[in-house]
Chains A and B, each alone.
Chain A
């Protein structure tokens, strides 16, 4: 199944991919230009061990102590790999940009698909907001002492808006530049991790702690019993391992998608696990005083500054901020493609706008900017809540990441669950599996993945992060109202695309000549 890179083979493969997409009733409107590495890179960049594991490092350390890094990270990774493998199987079988929502529509029905899409979109809003807020939070913390201003929620929000706009502009301009930046981002992430690890191991100011300290359980800096604190602390790893559905959302832009996109989904999680484990181990072993680190405004910045000194530490931290920025760039791409696919099937208000592809840039421009605006509104909502109630104890990051984890993982779980039901009813059989499949192990892996999703969906919204749960419930109420008052009868679903004639598909594709 390996793809040769000679132009003739590429053209043949592109033609095959387009014809395969036609089977699902969709025209090849997006530019199919991404190779296997680009597909992997977009998910690897969104997972971004330098964003999730770093920005929530303080959260993990506070609740689970140093043992959170030694036990929490591999535990979460183990189950996330099963979720990723189950999703990869479905991506290989149904390779369309709608991904989760399209899988749910075909495996269940269009209303399951509609809910899956909206829950995924809610999660996507949370992940874009959470990532770009992380960029702003770290950049603000590094800029304020240099420029001599006081870091506040307002200054962070302003930087957050600027970061979002930069991601909107680059995504607007085109998939080629974003794909190149994603490719670079993957190498960049690995490079920064290497620099960080070598610096901490070879040039740290203090001795590395014994390995035992990485696996020390029973130490929490919260007021919760340890077992509960440990579960709450898992948010650090769990939020990191989100967003790898991006490889499926960009599947209509990937050459040879039935093999490359599933590998992108699975390998991005697996490689992130390994690289993240190494990074977290060295950072944690560099901590000289855990109490002081936990008490710091930003424990990660504190640990790095203590270990590497102020100047070099700042350089490394700026490199991490840039990695986070790359992560946000990729997440806007993924979010916009999901929205485009959903609008293409008329699942949201003003679908005609958001399904439109810009003929010059070949990108869903309206969907990109809606992704930017919705992400800003989510963070703005939290900003106003804190203005009204300044004594809130949760952090904005915990709120945004809690929303994204639950939203995304519930939307990951629905099609996996529907697949198990479809299999038990004999509707989905081994002959429907794509080339990337786990054979007889697929069912076991899917069941374990679902169990994990059920657990974390509860754990991520229990106090002190209950506001994320409340926000999700309110969003679900809005969805129910939307569904019952309108979409129940007016959403045609992706099955309607199957009625589109080959002539109509050809006409649509003729509008997009390179």
Chain B
């Protein structure tokens, strides 16, 4: 059980590191020119009648 527990802790550390590394790489590579602000659909929809989101 001890080995399993240590492996779980190491796995959590590895995931944290991997996410951090990927995010950091993407922050540095970010190009504002290709970015577009997401403002949603300008027209109003009713989600509870819209099959796309219910």
Chain A residues close to B by CB (< 8 Å)? 1, 20, 23-24, 67, 70-71, 74-75, 77-78, 81-82, 85, 88, 93-94, 105-112, 211-212, 214-217, 259, 262-263, 266-267, 270, 273-274, 277, 418, 421, 425, 427-428, 431-439, 441, 445, 493, 495, 498
On chain A, the residues within 8 Å of B52 by CB distance are 421, 425
On chain A, the residues within 8 Å of B1 by CB distance are 67, 212, 215-217
Cβ of A212 and Cβ of B2 under 8 Å apart?
Answer: yes
Cβ of B35 and Cβ of A434 under 8 Å apart?
Answer: yes
Cβ of A109 and Cβ of B19 under 8 Å apart?
Answer: no
Q: Which residue from A74, A108, A217 sits with its C-beta under 8 Å from B47?
A: A108
Shortest CB-to-CB span from B31 to chain A, Å, is 9
Ordered by A's residue number, 13 sampled pairs between the chains whose C-beta atoms are within 8 Å are A74-B11, A81-B16, A85-B19, A109-B41, A109-B46, A214-B5, A215-B6, A421-B52, A421-B53, A425-B52, A432-B38, A434-B30, A435-B30
Cβ of B26 and Cβ of A108 under 8 Å apart?
Answer: no
Beyond known contacts A78-B8, A431-B34, A436-B23: 4 more, CB 8 A cutoff: A106-B40, A110-B44, A112-B47, A215-B5
On chain A, the residues within 8 Å of B34 by CB distance are 431
Cβ of A71 and Cβ of B15 under 8 Å apart?
Answer: no
Cβ of B38 and Cβ of A106 under 8 Å apart?
Answer: yes
On chain B, the residues within 8 Å of A273 by CB distance are 12, 16
Shortest CB-to-CB span from B26 to chain A, Å, is 5
Question: Whole-angstrom distance between the alpha carbons of A409 and B1 in the complex?
Answer: 30
Residue of A nearest to B35 (CB): A431
Shortest CB-to-CB span from A67 to chain B, Å, is 8
Which B residues between 2 and 53 are near A, CB-CB below 8 angstroms?
2, 4-6, 8-9, 11-13, 15-16, 19-20, 22-23, 26-28, 30, 34-42, 44-48, 50, 52-53
Shortest CB-to-CB span from B19 to chain A, Å, is 5
On chain B, the residues within 8 Å of A439 by CB distance are 22, 26
Residue of B nearest to A71 (CB): B5
Question: Whole-angstrom distance between the alpha carbons of A407 and B41 in the complex?
Answer: 27
On chain A, the residues within 8 Å of B16 by CB distance are 81, 270, 273
Cβ of B23 and Cβ of A438 under 8 Å apart?
Answer: yes
Q: Which residue from A24, A214, A437, A445 sits with its C-beta under 8 Å from B37?
A: A24
On chain B, the residues within 8 Å of A70 by CB distance are 5
Shortest CB-to-CB span from B17 to chain A, Å, is 9
Cβ of A441 and Cβ of B22 under 8 Å apart?
Answer: yes
Residue of A nearest to B36 (CB): A431
Cβ of A112 and Cβ of B53 under 8 Å apart?
Answer: yes
Known: A273-B16, A441-B22. A1 touches B44 (CB 8 A): no
Shortest CB-to-CB span from B48 to chain A, Å, is 6
Question: Whole-angstrom distance between the alpha carbons of A427 and B50 in the complex?
Answer: 15
Cβ of B12 and Cβ of A259 under 8 Å apart?
Answer: no
On chain A, the residues within 8 Å of B26 by CB distance are 435-439
Known: A81-B15, A435-B26. A493 touches B44 (CB 8 A): yes
Shortest CB-to-CB span from A295 to chain B, Å, is 25
On chain B, the residues within 8 Å of A212 by CB distance are 1-2
Cβ of B19 and Cβ of A266 under 8 Å apart?
Answer: yes
Cβ of B38 and Cβ of A111 under 8 Å apart?
Answer: no
Cβ of B46 and Cβ of A111 under 8 Å apart?
Answer: yes
Residue of A nearest to B40 (CB): A106
Residue of B nearest to A438 (CB): B22
By CB atoms of chain A within 10 A, which of B28, B40, B45, B53 has the most?
A: B40
Shortest CB-to-CB span from A272 to chain B, Å, is 11
Cβ of B2 and Cβ of A211 under 8 Å apart?
Answer: yes
Question: Whole-angstrom distance between the alpha carbons of A125 and B31 in the complex?
Answer: 39
Question: Whole-angstrom distance between the alpha carbons of A81 and B9 in the complex?
Answer: 13
On chain B, the residues within 8 Å of A23 by CB distance are 37, 39
Residue of B nearest to A80 (CB): B12
Cβ of A270 and Cβ of B2 under 8 Å apart?
Answer: no
On chain B, the residues within 8 Å of A85 by CB distance are 19, 23
Shortest CB-to-CB span from A179 to chain B, Å, is 23
Cβ of B20 and Cβ of A266 under 8 Å apart?
Answer: yes
Cβ of B38 and Cβ of A93 under 8 Å apart?
Answer: yes
On chain A, the residues within 8 Å of B12 by CB distance are 74-75, 77-78, 81, 273
Shortest CB-to-CB span from B36 to chain A, Å, is 5
Question: Whole-angstrom distance between the alpha carbons of A427 and B35 in the complex?
Answer: 14
